[in-house]
Amino acid sequence: MSFRIDLHDVERGECIVLDSGGEILMVDCGSSSRIIRAGDVNFFDYVRGSLMPLYAGARRRSFLLTHCHRDHICGLWHILRSDPLYFDRLFLPVSPVGGGGRPLLLEFALYVYVFLSRATEYSQVNTGVLRLFRRAVRRAGAERVFPVRAGDVFPFGGAEYEVLWPPEEDFPFAPEFAAAVDRLDALMSSPVLPPCAREFLNLRQAFCAQYRSFCASSPVSGPGVSAASALLARMGGLVPSLRLLPFAGRAAGFRSFSGVQRLYSQALNAASVVFQNRRGRSPSRDILMTGDAPPETIAAVAPSLREGYFCLKAPHHGSQSSFSPVLGSLAADHILISSGASGSAGAVSPAYAAMPGVCHCTSCASCAAFQSGGCCSRLKVCYSLSRPALAVACPFASSGRGSPPCGVRVLTPLGVRGCFCG
C-alpha cells in the first residue's frame, strides 16, 4: 500500500496530510497569514482552489485538529463552509481538566467571552475552544465529530493510531495560569455583587459539566452540544449587566495581568494532541505528530515513544523554545518543519539541522542553520533511496520532479518543491 506525506506551505501555520492508499488524514489546516508568499496567493484561495481539489478523489477523508490556535484551525472552517461533507470524520481535542477538577481553558475562555468585545482578535482567538464542537456539529453533523484525548485509538489507512496526549483528567496546568483564573474568580465571588455575578458562575459550572458530558460519547452527543450552546447563549445575555460590575474595567483589562494572554496560549499549546501509529505485525512507517507541544509535553509522553521513526513532525513550527532533547534521541529518518517566512513562533532550532534525519521545511527564512551554512539536508543520509546514500543523490530532492522515494512532499501554490532549501 502506498503512503505519502504532504507538507503544505501555508506561511505562518500548519497543514499536513497523510495519504495511505487513497485515504487521507489532514492534520490541522490554518494560517495566521493572509497571503502565502510562494505565489502571492490568498490563503483561503489556496485552500479552496488547490488544497480541496487535490484530495477530492480520496475514498475517505478525515481531519484531526491538534489545538485551537488560528494558525491550525481557520482553514478547517473555510473547508466546511465550502463543503460541509468534505470530511467523513473530524477528530477534535477535548479541553482537559486539571488536578483540582477544573477545566481551566474553558473557564478562562468564558471570562474573555463575557468581559471582552467579541469584535477583538484577542476575544475571537481565545474563545474558539468554547465554540469548537458547536461549529463542527452545525456544519458537518454530530455523527462526524469525534472527541480525542490520551488513550483513544482510531483507524486510518489500514493501521491504528493512538493518542498519547492530552490526558482528560489531572492535566498539569502551569501554576501561574491557574493563579490567573483564581484572581478572576476572586473578583467575581464577592458577596456584595449583584445576582448576575453568581448566575454567571453557576452557568459557567453547568456549561463545563455539559461540555464534559457531550465529550464522553464518540461521536459527540448532538443534543449535549446544543445544550451547552444554550448555556453559552444565556451567559451572553448577562454581558450587559456583567460589564457594569464595579471591577469590570479591571476584568476587561485582564490582558494586563502578569502575562495572562501568554499563559493561556502556552496552555493551549501544552494541550496539543500528540499521536503516533501503533506498530502491527507487518513493518510500518512509524510517524509521530506533535502539534505545538512544548518540551514538558514531550517529556510527559516520552515513555510511550520509540526509536527509529520514519517521520517526526517538529513541534511548534520547529521553534527553539519548543525543542526537546527527547526528540533528538528518536533517530527519525525524516523531519517535518512548518515554519513561516516571518518566523512568528521564533527561529527554527539549529538542533534539527544537527539531527541525522532529512529535514523537509516550508521556509528557511527563520532558520539560523541555513543562514550560516546553507541547507542542512544536502549532506544527510537518506534511507529511503534504493540504497542508503546522501540526499544529494535523490533526483527529486533538488528538482521536485517525479515521485520522491520517501513519499514526503512540500507543496506550495507554485507546485511541488524539492526538499533542499534555497
Transcribe 336-375 into DSSP letters: EE---TT-TT-PBPHHHHHSSSEEEES--TTBHHHHHHS-
Last residue of a domain, one of 270, 302, 336: 270
Q: Is the pLDDT of residue 268 over 70?
A: yes
Domains in the chain, number: 2
Give percent of the chain with pLDDT exceeding 70. Answer: 93
Q: Looking at residues 69-87, what average pLDDT do you find?
A: 96
Which of the four pLDDT bands, split at 50, 70 and 90, describes residue 234? very high
Judge whether 139 lies within some domain: no
Q: For the segment 145-189, what is each residue's pLDDT rounded down to a tens digit?
A: 999 999 999 999 989 999 999 999 999 999 999 998 998 899 899
Which of the four pLDDT bands, split at 50, 70 and 90, describes residue 100? confident
Which residues constitute the domain of residue 69? Answer: 3-94+149-171+271-417
- For residues 292 and 344, state if they share a domain: yes
Report which of residues 94 and 281 the model is more confident about. Answer: 94
> In the prediction, which pLDDT does 335 show?
96
Judge whether 108 lies within some domain: yes
> In the prediction, which pLDDT does 20 show?
92
Global confidence as pTM: 0.95
Q: Which of 36-45, 172-181, 275-284, 304-313 is predicted least confidently? A: 275-284
Q: Looking at residues 185-201, what average pLDDT do you find?
A: 93
Distances, alpha carbon 132 to alpha carbons 74, 82, 213, in Å: 11, 18, 15
Beta bridge partners of 360: 336
With beta carbons less than 8 A apart as the criterion, state whether 207 and 230 touch.
no
With beta carbons less than 8 A apart as the criterion, state whether 106 and 62 touch.
no
> Which SS3 state, helix, strand or coil, does residue 395 take?
helix
Q: Which of 21-30, 151-160, 276-285, 330-339 is predicted least confidently? A: 276-285
Q: For the segment 1-58, what is each residue's pLDDT rounded down to a tens digit?
A: 588 999 999 998 999 999 998 899 999 999 998 999 888 999 999 999 999 999 999 9
Angle of CA points 52, 53, 57, to nearest 5° = 105
- For residues 156 and 36, state if they share a domain: yes
Judge whether 142 lies within some domain: no
- For residues 162 and 260, state if they share a domain: no
Judge whether 367 lies within some domain: yes
